[in-house]
Structure 1
Protein backbone atom coordinates (compact mmCIF):
# COMPACT_ATOMS: atom_id res chain seq x y z
CA UNK A 1 0.00 0.00 0.00
CA UNK A 2 1.41 3.45 -0.90
CA UNK A 3 2.74 5.47 1.98
CA UNK A 4 0.48 8.54 2.01
CA UNK A 5 2.76 10.29 4.43
CA UNK A 6 5.63 10.11 1.94
CA UNK A 7 3.39 11.20 -0.91
CA UNK A 8 1.97 14.31 0.68
CA UNK A 9 4.52 15.18 3.35
CA UNK A 10 3.56 16.41 6.77
CA UNK A 11 1.12 19.30 7.07
CA UNK A 12 3.85 21.34 8.71
CA UNK A 13 6.33 20.79 5.89
CA UNK A 14 3.72 21.77 3.29
CA UNK A 15 3.01 24.96 5.17
CA UNK A 16 6.70 25.71 5.47
CA UNK A 17 7.23 25.23 1.73
CA UNK A 18 4.27 27.49 0.96
CA UNK A 19 5.57 30.19 3.29
CA UNK A 20 9.07 29.93 1.85
CA UNK A 21 7.79 30.11 -1.73
CA UNK A 22 5.72 33.20 -0.92
CA UNK A 23 8.82 34.85 0.56
CA UNK A 24 10.90 33.95 -2.49
CA UNK A 25 8.19 35.30 -4.81
CA UNK A 26 7.89 38.58 -2.88
CA UNK A 27 11.64 39.17 -2.71
CA UNK A 28 12.65 37.92 -6.15
CA UNK A 29 14.91 40.53 -7.80
CA UNK A 30 13.28 42.44 -10.63
CA UNK A 31 10.88 45.30 -11.33
CA UNK A 32 8.53 46.04 -8.44
CA UNK A 33 10.79 44.47 -5.81
CA UNK A 34 10.67 47.49 -3.48
CA UNK A 35 6.86 47.54 -3.47
CA UNK A 36 6.62 43.77 -3.01
CA UNK A 37 9.10 43.88 -0.14
CA UNK A 38 6.67 45.99 1.87
CA UNK A 39 4.42 42.92 2.13
CA UNK A 40 7.14 40.61 3.45
CA UNK A 41 7.18 39.54 7.10
CA UNK A 42 10.53 37.76 6.78
CA UNK A 43 13.75 38.48 4.94
CA UNK A 44 14.88 36.22 2.11
CA UNK A 45 16.86 34.03 4.55
CA UNK A 46 13.83 33.61 6.82
CA UNK A 47 14.85 36.21 9.42
CA UNK A 48 11.75 37.75 10.98
CA UNK A 49 11.19 41.40 10.10
CA UNK A 50 10.26 43.55 13.08
CA UNK A 51 6.54 44.19 12.57
CA UNK A 52 4.53 47.34 13.11
CA UNK A 53 5.39 50.99 12.93
CA UNK A 54 6.69 53.56 15.38
CA UNK A 55 6.58 57.35 15.53
CA UNK A 56 9.75 59.38 15.53
CA UNK A 57 10.96 60.91 18.78
CA UNK A 58 9.97 64.57 18.91
CA UNK A 59 12.95 66.21 20.60
CA UNK A 60 16.64 65.77 21.25
CA UNK A 61 15.93 66.23 24.97
CA UNK A 62 13.65 63.18 24.89
CA UNK A 63 16.47 61.18 23.35
CA UNK A 64 19.01 62.43 25.89
CA UNK A 65 16.72 61.32 28.71
CA UNK A 66 16.68 57.80 27.29
CA UNK A 67 20.47 57.77 27.05
CA UNK A 68 20.80 58.97 30.64
CA UNK A 69 18.35 56.38 31.96
CA UNK A 70 20.37 53.52 33.52
CA UNK A 71 17.64 51.08 32.51
CA UNK A 72 18.22 51.81 28.83
CA UNK A 73 20.04 48.80 27.26
CA UNK A 74 23.67 49.45 26.31
CA UNK A 75 23.03 48.68 22.64
CA UNK A 76 20.18 51.19 22.47
CA UNK A 77 22.23 53.79 24.33
CA UNK A 78 24.93 53.44 21.66
CA UNK A 79 22.40 53.86 18.85
CA UNK A 80 21.03 57.02 20.47
CA UNK A 81 24.46 58.59 21.03
CA UNK A 82 27.01 60.40 18.86
CA UNK A 83 28.18 59.90 16.21
CA UNK A 84 25.45 57.47 15.18
CA UNK A 85 22.52 59.69 16.16
CA UNK A 86 23.60 62.54 13.90
CA UNK A 87 21.74 63.28 10.68
CA UNK A 88 24.46 63.66 8.05
CA UNK A 89 23.35 66.01 5.29
CA UNK A 90 24.75 64.59 2.05
CA UNK A 91 22.94 67.07 -0.18
CA UNK A 92 20.36 69.70 0.75
CA UNK A 93 17.63 67.14 0.06
CA UNK A 94 19.29 63.88 1.17
CA UNK A 95 20.27 62.74 4.66
CA UNK A 96 21.99 59.65 6.05
CA UNK A 97 21.62 58.44 9.62
CA UNK A 98 20.98 55.59 12.02
CA UNK A 99 17.83 54.98 14.05
CA UNK A 100 19.16 57.42 16.64
CA UNK A 101 18.90 60.23 14.12
CA UNK A 102 15.18 59.71 13.58
CA UNK A 103 14.14 62.67 15.69
CA UNK A 104 11.75 65.33 14.38
CA UNK A 105 13.84 68.11 15.89
CA UNK A 106 16.99 66.82 14.16
CA UNK A 107 15.20 66.76 10.81
CA UNK A 108 14.11 70.38 11.25
CA UNK A 109 17.66 71.38 12.15
CA UNK A 110 19.15 69.52 9.19
CA UNK A 111 16.86 70.36 6.28
CA UNK A 112 15.21 73.51 4.98
CA UNK A 113 12.52 71.33 3.42
CA UNK A 114 10.20 68.85 5.18
CA UNK A 115 11.13 65.18 4.99
CA UNK A 116 8.92 63.50 2.38
CA UNK A 117 10.62 60.09 2.10
CA UNK A 118 12.19 57.68 4.59
CA UNK A 119 14.06 54.54 3.52
CA UNK A 120 14.55 51.98 6.32
CA UNK A 121 17.36 49.56 5.38
CA UNK A 122 16.89 47.06 8.21
CA UNK A 123 15.01 44.00 9.33
CA UNK A 124 15.59 44.82 13.03
CA UNK A 125 13.93 48.21 13.38
CA UNK A 126 10.20 48.89 13.15
CA UNK A 127 8.97 50.99 10.26
CA UNK A 128 9.27 54.56 11.48
CA UNK A 129 6.53 56.89 10.31
CA UNK A 130 6.40 60.65 9.94
CA UNK A 131 3.32 62.61 8.96
CA UNK A 132 3.54 63.70 5.33
CA UNK A 133 6.34 61.27 4.45
CA UNK A 134 6.37 58.04 2.46
CA UNK A 135 8.13 55.17 4.22
CA UNK A 136 9.73 52.11 2.62
CA UNK A 137 11.65 49.19 4.06
CA UNK A 138 14.54 47.43 2.36
CA UNK A 139 14.66 44.16 4.36
CA UNK A 140 18.36 43.32 4.30
CA UNK A 141 20.93 42.58 6.99
CA UNK A 142 24.47 43.90 7.26
CA UNK A 143 25.85 40.72 5.76
CA UNK A 144 28.30 40.71 2.85
CA UNK A 145 26.28 37.89 1.25
CA UNK A 146 23.09 39.98 1.04
CA UNK A 147 21.96 40.94 -2.47
CA UNK A 148 21.55 44.59 -1.58
CA UNK A 149 22.10 45.68 -5.19
CA UNK A 150 18.73 44.19 -6.19
CA UNK A 151 17.21 47.33 -4.65
CA UNK A 152 19.66 49.91 -6.03
CA UNK A 153 17.67 50.94 -9.12
CA UNK A 154 14.32 51.41 -7.40
CA UNK A 155 15.57 53.05 -4.22
CA UNK A 156 17.84 55.52 -6.03
CA UNK A 157 14.96 56.36 -8.38
CA UNK A 158 12.77 57.12 -5.34
CA UNK A 159 15.45 59.43 -3.95
CA UNK A 160 15.80 61.24 -7.28
CA UNK A 161 12.03 61.62 -7.49
CA UNK A 162 12.11 63.60 -4.24
CA UNK A 163 14.92 65.75 -5.64
CA UNK A 164 13.11 66.50 -8.88
CA UNK A 165 9.89 67.49 -7.13
CA UNK A 166 11.91 70.02 -5.16
CA UNK A 167 9.48 70.18 -2.26
CA UNK A 168 11.00 67.82 0.28
CA UNK A 169 13.97 65.86 1.56
CA UNK A 170 14.72 62.15 1.87
CA UNK A 171 16.37 60.27 4.72
CA UNK A 172 18.03 56.87 4.36
CA UNK A 173 18.79 55.00 7.57
CA UNK A 174 19.84 51.63 8.92
CA UNK A 175 20.70 50.92 12.55
CA UNK A 176 23.82 53.08 12.80
CA UNK A 177 24.13 54.70 9.36
CA UNK A 178 27.42 52.98 8.57
CA UNK A 179 27.04 50.17 6.03
CA UNK A 180 23.58 49.39 4.63
CA UNK A 181 22.12 52.88 4.35
CA UNK A 182 25.50 54.32 3.31
CA UNK A 183 25.59 51.87 0.39
CA UNK A 184 22.33 53.25 -0.98
CA UNK A 185 23.53 56.84 -0.69
CA UNK A 186 26.71 55.90 -2.56
CA UNK A 187 24.65 54.17 -5.26
CA UNK A 188 22.48 57.27 -5.60
CA UNK A 189 25.47 59.60 -6.05
CA UNK A 190 26.99 57.29 -8.65
CA UNK A 191 23.78 57.06 -10.64
CA UNK A 192 22.41 60.59 -10.48
CA UNK A 193 25.49 62.71 -9.70
CA UNK A 194 27.78 60.83 -12.10
CA UNK A 195 30.35 60.14 -9.39
CA UNK A 196 32.72 57.20 -9.39
CA UNK A 197 32.62 54.89 -6.38
CA UNK A 198 35.76 56.56 -5.06
CA UNK A 199 34.34 60.06 -5.51
CA UNK A 200 31.05 59.11 -3.87
CA UNK A 201 32.80 57.37 -0.96
CA UNK A 202 35.07 60.32 -0.25
CA UNK A 203 32.18 62.78 -0.63
CA UNK A 204 30.00 60.97 1.90
CA UNK A 205 32.95 60.21 4.20
CA UNK A 206 33.54 63.95 4.56
CA UNK A 207 29.96 64.33 5.77
CA UNK A 208 29.67 61.15 7.84
CA UNK A 209 33.07 59.90 8.92
CA UNK A 210 31.78 56.56 10.25
CA UNK A 211 30.56 55.12 6.94
CA UNK A 212 32.05 51.70 6.28
CA UNK A 213 30.10 49.51 3.82
CA UNK A 214 31.09 45.89 4.20
CA UNK A 215 33.25 44.35 1.49
CA UNK A 216 30.35 42.45 -0.09
CA UNK A 217 28.41 45.71 -0.48
CA UNK A 218 31.48 47.43 -1.93
CA UNK A 219 31.76 44.68 -4.54
CA UNK A 220 28.10 45.18 -5.49
CA UNK A 221 28.63 48.94 -5.62
CA UNK A 222 31.55 48.34 -8.00
CA UNK A 223 29.22 46.41 -10.32
CA UNK A 224 26.67 49.22 -10.07
CA UNK A 225 29.42 51.73 -10.87
CA UNK A 226 30.20 49.76 -14.03
CA UNK A 227 26.49 49.81 -14.92
CA UNK A 228 26.34 53.57 -14.37
CA UNK A 229 29.45 54.02 -16.54
CA UNK A 230 27.81 51.94 -19.29
CA UNK A 231 30.38 49.18 -19.04
CA UNK A 232 33.44 51.42 -19.45
CA UNK A 233 35.90 49.86 -16.99
CA UNK A 234 38.42 52.68 -17.55
CA UNK A 235 36.03 55.13 -15.85
CA UNK A 236 35.57 52.93 -12.79
CA UNK A 237 37.48 52.71 -9.53
CA UNK A 238 40.58 50.48 -9.58
CA UNK A 239 40.59 47.30 -7.47
CA UNK A 240 43.67 45.39 -6.38
CA UNK A 241 44.73 42.60 -4.06
CA UNK A 242 45.81 43.35 -0.51
CA UNK A 243 47.28 40.91 2.00
CA UNK A 244 46.97 41.15 5.76
CA UNK A 245 47.33 38.41 8.39
CA UNK A 246 48.21 36.00 5.55
CA UNK A 247 44.75 36.64 4.04
CA UNK A 248 44.48 38.17 0.56
CA UNK A 249 41.42 40.01 -0.67
CA UNK A 250 40.54 42.42 -3.46
CA UNK A 251 39.58 45.93 -2.42
CA UNK A 252 39.25 49.30 -4.10
CA UNK A 253 42.66 50.90 -4.40
CA UNK A 254 41.50 54.06 -2.62
CA UNK A 255 40.39 51.96 0.38
CA UNK A 256 43.83 50.33 0.56
CA UNK A 257 45.58 53.69 0.35
CA UNK A 258 43.47 55.74 2.76
CA UNK A 259 41.01 53.64 4.74
CA UNK A 260 42.52 50.18 5.17
CA UNK A 261 42.51 50.40 8.98
CA UNK A 262 38.72 50.55 8.84
CA UNK A 263 38.65 47.26 6.92
CA UNK A 264 41.08 45.29 9.07
CA UNK A 265 38.16 43.19 10.34
CA UNK A 266 37.78 41.79 6.82
CA UNK A 267 41.17 40.09 7.26
CA UNK A 268 40.43 38.28 10.50
CA UNK A 269 40.77 34.50 10.29
Structure 2
Protein backbone atom coordinates (compact mmCIF):
# COMPACT_ATOMS: atom_id res chain seq x y z
CA UNK A 1 0.00 0.00 0.00
CA UNK A 2 3.05 2.27 -0.19
CA UNK A 3 1.86 4.02 -3.34
CA UNK A 4 -1.77 4.53 -2.31
CA UNK A 5 -2.88 8.08 -1.52
CA UNK A 6 -6.27 9.59 -0.69
CA UNK A 7 -6.92 13.22 -1.63
CA UNK A 8 -9.89 15.20 -0.29
CA UNK A 9 -11.31 17.95 -2.50
CA UNK A 10 -14.19 20.41 -2.27
CA UNK A 11 -16.18 21.63 -5.28
CA UNK A 12 -17.40 24.76 -3.58
CA UNK A 13 -20.36 24.77 -1.23
CA UNK A 14 -24.13 25.01 -1.18
CA UNK A 15 -26.35 27.42 0.70
CA UNK A 16 -29.41 25.80 2.21
CA UNK A 17 -31.42 25.74 5.43
CA UNK A 18 -30.55 23.84 8.58
CA UNK A 19 -33.75 21.80 8.24
CA UNK A 20 -32.56 20.60 4.80
CA UNK A 21 -29.67 18.88 6.58
CA UNK A 22 -31.12 18.16 10.03
CA UNK A 23 -34.78 17.26 9.86
CA UNK A 24 -37.14 19.53 11.81
CA UNK A 25 -34.30 21.63 13.21
CA UNK A 26 -32.98 25.14 12.69
CA UNK A 27 -36.23 27.17 12.47
CA UNK A 28 -35.40 28.28 8.92
CA UNK A 29 -31.82 29.29 9.71
CA UNK A 30 -29.30 29.42 6.87
CA UNK A 31 -26.52 26.86 6.55
CA UNK A 32 -23.55 26.57 4.19
CA UNK A 33 -22.36 23.04 3.54
CA UNK A 34 -19.22 21.75 1.81
CA UNK A 35 -19.50 19.66 -1.35
CA UNK A 36 -16.70 17.08 -1.02
CA UNK A 37 -15.25 14.60 -3.48
CA UNK A 38 -12.20 12.36 -3.43
CA UNK A 39 -9.33 10.90 -5.43
CA UNK A 40 -7.68 7.58 -4.56
CA UNK A 41 -4.37 7.10 -6.34
CA UNK A 42 -3.60 3.38 -6.65
CA UNK A 43 -1.05 1.36 -8.63
CA UNK A 44 -3.89 -0.53 -10.32
CA UNK A 45 -5.62 2.65 -11.49
CA UNK A 46 -6.80 5.93 -10.02
CA UNK A 47 -10.40 6.38 -8.92
CA UNK A 48 -12.45 9.54 -8.50
CA UNK A 49 -15.12 9.14 -5.84
CA UNK A 50 -18.21 11.23 -6.63
CA UNK A 51 -16.96 14.47 -8.20
CA UNK A 52 -19.02 17.21 -6.59
CA UNK A 53 -21.10 19.55 -8.72
CA UNK A 54 -20.73 19.70 -12.50
CA UNK A 55 -18.79 22.81 -13.52
CA UNK A 56 -20.91 23.03 -16.68
CA UNK A 57 -23.89 24.06 -14.59
CA UNK A 58 -22.36 27.31 -13.43
CA UNK A 59 -23.09 29.20 -16.67
CA UNK A 60 -26.85 28.64 -16.24
CA UNK A 61 -27.56 27.10 -12.83
CA UNK A 62 -31.35 27.03 -13.18
CA UNK A 63 -31.17 25.63 -16.70
CA UNK A 64 -28.84 22.86 -15.54
CA UNK A 65 -30.06 22.02 -12.03
CA UNK A 66 -33.62 23.31 -12.22
CA UNK A 67 -35.59 24.59 -9.24
CA UNK A 68 -33.33 22.61 -6.89
CA UNK A 69 -31.12 25.69 -6.70
CA UNK A 70 -33.86 27.45 -4.74
CA UNK A 71 -33.18 25.09 -1.85
CA UNK A 72 -29.50 24.30 -2.49
CA UNK A 73 -27.77 27.33 -4.00
CA UNK A 74 -24.34 26.55 -5.40
CA UNK A 75 -21.31 28.62 -4.45
CA UNK A 76 -18.66 27.37 -6.81
CA UNK A 77 -16.10 28.68 -9.29
CA UNK A 78 -15.26 26.91 -12.58
CA UNK A 79 -11.77 26.05 -11.33
CA UNK A 80 -13.39 24.05 -8.53
CA UNK A 81 -14.72 21.47 -11.00
CA UNK A 82 -13.20 18.02 -10.59
CA UNK A 83 -11.29 18.00 -13.90
CA UNK A 84 -9.72 21.40 -13.22
CA UNK A 85 -8.72 20.42 -9.69
CA UNK A 86 -7.12 17.17 -10.84
CA UNK A 87 -5.05 19.18 -13.30
CA UNK A 88 -3.43 20.98 -10.35
CA UNK A 89 -1.99 17.57 -9.37
CA UNK A 90 -0.74 16.99 -12.93
CA UNK A 91 -3.51 14.52 -13.78
CA UNK A 92 -5.44 14.49 -17.05
CA UNK A 93 -8.86 12.89 -17.60
CA UNK A 94 -7.19 9.80 -19.08
CA UNK A 95 -5.34 9.19 -15.82
CA UNK A 96 -8.60 8.11 -14.16
CA UNK A 97 -9.56 4.44 -14.44
CA UNK A 98 -12.70 4.44 -12.28
CA UNK A 99 -15.42 6.82 -11.15
CA UNK A 100 -17.11 5.46 -8.02
CA UNK A 101 -20.41 7.05 -7.07
CA UNK A 102 -22.00 7.06 -3.64
CA UNK A 103 -25.26 7.97 -5.40
CA UNK A 104 -26.42 10.07 -8.32
CA UNK A 105 -27.68 13.27 -6.70
CA UNK A 106 -26.34 16.28 -8.57
CA UNK A 107 -23.88 17.35 -5.87
CA UNK A 108 -22.16 13.96 -6.22
CA UNK A 109 -22.39 13.22 -9.95
CA UNK A 110 -20.08 15.94 -11.27
CA UNK A 111 -17.43 13.46 -12.44
CA UNK A 112 -19.69 11.32 -14.61
CA UNK A 113 -18.71 11.44 -18.28
CA UNK A 114 -15.60 13.58 -17.79
CA UNK A 115 -13.10 10.72 -17.92
CA UNK A 116 -13.09 8.89 -21.28
CA UNK A 117 -11.32 5.73 -20.07
CA UNK A 118 -13.22 5.36 -16.80
CA UNK A 119 -15.57 2.63 -15.67
CA UNK A 120 -18.40 4.12 -13.60
CA UNK A 121 -19.31 2.14 -10.48
CA UNK A 122 -22.76 2.58 -8.97
CA UNK A 123 -25.38 0.48 -7.27
CA UNK A 124 -27.80 -0.87 -9.86
CA UNK A 125 -30.73 0.12 -7.67
CA UNK A 126 -29.50 3.72 -7.58
CA UNK A 127 -28.99 3.93 -11.34
CA UNK A 128 -32.46 2.60 -12.13
CA UNK A 129 -34.16 4.87 -9.59
CA UNK A 130 -32.33 7.97 -10.87
CA UNK A 131 -34.13 7.68 -14.22
CA UNK A 132 -37.57 7.50 -12.59
CA UNK A 133 -37.40 9.03 -9.11
CA UNK A 134 -40.43 9.76 -6.96
CA UNK A 135 -41.68 13.34 -7.01
CA UNK A 136 -40.05 14.40 -3.73
CA UNK A 137 -36.62 13.22 -4.88
CA UNK A 138 -36.70 14.24 -8.54
CA UNK A 139 -35.13 17.66 -8.05
CA UNK A 140 -31.98 16.15 -6.55
CA UNK A 141 -31.11 14.31 -9.78
CA UNK A 142 -29.65 16.18 -12.77
CA UNK A 143 -30.21 13.72 -15.58
CA UNK A 144 -27.77 15.66 -17.77
CA UNK A 145 -24.98 14.29 -15.60
CA UNK A 146 -25.58 10.56 -15.93
CA UNK A 147 -27.81 10.09 -19.00
CA UNK A 148 -24.91 10.14 -21.46
CA UNK A 149 -24.17 7.91 -24.42
CA UNK A 150 -21.02 5.83 -24.49
CA UNK A 151 -20.39 5.58 -20.77
CA UNK A 152 -19.08 2.33 -19.31
CA UNK A 153 -21.03 1.32 -16.22
CA UNK A 154 -20.41 -1.43 -13.71
CA UNK A 155 -23.50 -2.07 -11.61
CA UNK A 156 -23.09 -3.34 -8.06
CA UNK A 157 -25.55 -5.40 -6.03
CA UNK A 158 -25.03 -4.31 -2.45
CA UNK A 159 -28.28 -5.91 -1.36
CA UNK A 160 -26.44 -9.24 -1.54
CA UNK A 161 -24.73 -8.17 1.66
CA UNK A 162 -21.00 -8.24 0.94
CA UNK A 163 -18.86 -5.13 0.36
CA UNK A 164 -17.40 -4.76 -3.13
CA UNK A 165 -13.58 -4.73 -3.07
CA UNK A 166 -12.51 -2.77 -6.15
CA UNK A 167 -8.84 -3.75 -6.26
CA UNK A 168 -9.03 -7.00 -4.30
CA UNK A 169 -6.61 -5.69 -1.67
CA UNK A 170 -8.98 -3.95 0.72
CA UNK A 171 -7.81 -0.47 -0.29
CA UNK A 172 -11.27 0.58 -1.51
CA UNK A 173 -14.49 -1.17 -0.58
CA UNK A 174 -18.04 -0.11 -1.41
CA UNK A 175 -20.60 -0.75 1.33
CA UNK A 176 -24.33 -0.63 0.61
CA UNK A 177 -25.86 2.07 2.86
CA UNK A 178 -29.40 2.86 1.64
CA UNK A 179 -31.67 5.36 3.31
CA UNK A 180 -30.69 8.74 1.93
CA UNK A 181 -31.44 7.18 -1.46
CA UNK A 182 -32.58 3.67 -2.33
CA UNK A 183 -29.18 2.76 -3.74
CA UNK A 184 -26.69 4.76 -1.70
CA UNK A 185 -23.25 3.32 -0.98
CA UNK A 186 -20.37 4.46 1.23
CA UNK A 187 -16.67 3.70 0.84
CA UNK A 188 -14.03 2.23 3.15
CA UNK A 189 -10.49 3.31 2.26
CA UNK A 190 -7.62 1.48 3.97
CA UNK A 191 -4.25 3.21 3.98
CA UNK A 192 -0.85 2.12 5.31
CA UNK A 193 -0.17 5.07 7.61
CA UNK A 194 -3.55 6.74 8.05
CA UNK A 195 -5.50 3.56 8.69
CA UNK A 196 -9.12 3.13 7.58
CA UNK A 197 -11.26 6.07 6.56
CA UNK A 198 -15.01 5.83 6.00
CA UNK A 199 -16.20 8.12 3.22
CA UNK A 200 -19.79 8.03 4.36
CA UNK A 201 -21.29 10.20 1.64
CA UNK A 202 -24.86 11.17 2.44
CA UNK A 203 -25.40 8.12 4.65
CA UNK A 204 -24.01 10.51 7.27
CA UNK A 205 -24.71 14.15 6.36
CA UNK A 206 -23.35 15.40 9.68
CA UNK A 207 -22.22 14.04 13.03
CA UNK A 208 -25.78 14.63 14.27
CA UNK A 209 -26.82 11.66 12.15
CA UNK A 210 -23.86 9.61 13.32
CA UNK A 211 -24.75 10.34 16.95
CA UNK A 212 -28.47 9.70 16.32
CA UNK A 213 -29.65 13.17 17.33
CA UNK A 214 -31.14 14.13 13.94
CA UNK A 215 -32.34 12.50 10.75
CA UNK A 216 -31.19 13.83 7.36
CA UNK A 217 -33.42 16.47 5.83
CA UNK A 218 -33.83 14.43 2.64
CA UNK A 219 -34.18 10.67 2.66
CA UNK A 220 -35.94 7.78 0.99
CA UNK A 221 -36.31 5.68 4.13
CA UNK A 222 -35.80 6.76 7.73
CA UNK A 223 -35.50 3.14 8.85
CA UNK A 224 -32.84 2.31 6.28
CA UNK A 225 -30.97 5.55 7.03
CA UNK A 226 -30.73 4.69 10.72
CA UNK A 227 -29.68 1.10 10.05
CA UNK A 228 -27.02 2.19 7.57
CA UNK A 229 -25.47 4.44 10.22
CA UNK A 230 -25.50 1.49 12.59
CA UNK A 231 -23.74 -0.63 9.96
CA UNK A 232 -21.06 2.01 9.44
CA UNK A 233 -20.60 2.49 13.16
CA UNK A 234 -20.00 -1.25 13.59
CA UNK A 235 -17.41 -1.16 10.79
CA UNK A 236 -15.74 1.85 12.39
CA UNK A 237 -15.55 0.14 15.77
CA UNK A 238 -13.99 -3.00 14.29
CA UNK A 239 -11.38 -1.15 12.22
CA UNK A 240 -10.78 1.99 14.29
CA UNK A 241 -11.79 3.99 11.22
CA UNK A 242 -11.95 7.75 10.85
CA UNK A 243 -15.38 8.95 9.72
CA UNK A 244 -15.63 11.52 6.91
CA UNK A 245 -19.26 12.74 6.90
CA UNK A 246 -20.86 13.98 3.72
CA UNK A 247 -21.71 17.63 4.40
CA UNK A 248 -20.67 18.58 7.92
CA UNK A 249 -19.00 22.03 7.78
CA UNK A 250 -17.46 21.74 11.24
CA UNK A 251 -16.07 18.23 10.76
CA UNK A 252 -14.82 19.03 7.24
CA UNK A 253 -12.54 21.80 8.54
CA UNK A 254 -10.55 19.25 10.51
CA UNK A 255 -9.42 17.30 7.45
CA UNK A 256 -6.35 17.84 5.29
CA UNK A 257 -7.47 18.94 1.82
CA UNK A 258 -5.61 18.58 -1.48
CA UNK A 259 -2.85 19.10 -2.40
CA UNK A 260 -2.26 17.47 0.96
CA UNK A 261 -3.18 13.78 1.20
CA UNK A 262 -3.54 10.72 3.43
CA UNK A 263 -1.43 7.64 2.83
Tell whether the structures are fold-level matches, with TM greater than 0.5: no
> Could you say which structure has the larger radius of gyration?
1
Q: Greater share of helix residues, 1 or 2?
A: 1
TM range (shorter): under 0.3
Q: Greater share of strand residues, 1 or 2?
A: 2
Report the TM-score, using the length of structure 1 for normalisation: 0.25
